[in-house]
Amino acid sequence: MAEAALTPEDILTAAEEVLRRYGPAKATVVDVARVLGVSHGTVYRHFPSKAALRGAVTRQWLDRAHAALPGIATGQEEPRERLRLWLAALFRAKQEKALADPELFATYQVLVDENSELIAEHVSGLEAQIAGMIVEGQEQGSFGPGDPEALGHVVFQATAHYHDPGYAEEWSRPGVNEEFEAVVGFILRGLGA
């Protein structure tokens, strides 16, 4: 690939390939550059450090995995239904990633652990989406009173078992989807007016 035509997206695609092939412990910027046919200095012109590159890969993965959530949060359904759909989409996205490619999912779990500030920012955005649905539900009378931001945090934490990568091994066990639906039903009843 010509160095002048190289884009950050090209580098991120190559980095993902390298991470899949070698795992997070052995993947290097030199490996990424080799896949692209450029010098490692060229990669560093786009990403100033290995940590910055790994952080960008993590952000891209999270953005891809959660791409449907903002649209659900602002959809046309009533807030209770949107919240149910949103939580289901979050669980389904994580479950599908973990079950379809467990090795890559494990790699991303390592990257997530390395990028605590990025993850905190991402989680804050997810909780804000929940809070927005709660505000609408409160305005329409389908959710009871309470601080929407605090309630958004509580809902996110209460469903952690179904989106926190630490629980990924449990997402394929029999009955997990029914258990998830029961938890969401319990949360929605608790938010009720």
Strand partners, 192: 143
Kindly tell me if the per-residue pLDDT of 1 is higher than 60. Answer: no
How high is the pLDDT of residue 155? 98
Mean pLDDT comparison of 3-7, 108-112, 151-155, highest-scoring range: 151-155
pTM: 0.88
Phi-psi region of 37 (alpha: psi -120 to 50; beta: other; left: phi over 0): left
More confidently predicted of 124 and 166: 124
The stretch 42-70 carries a mean pLDDT of 92
Kindly tell me if the per-residue pLDDT of 70 is higher than 90. Answer: yes
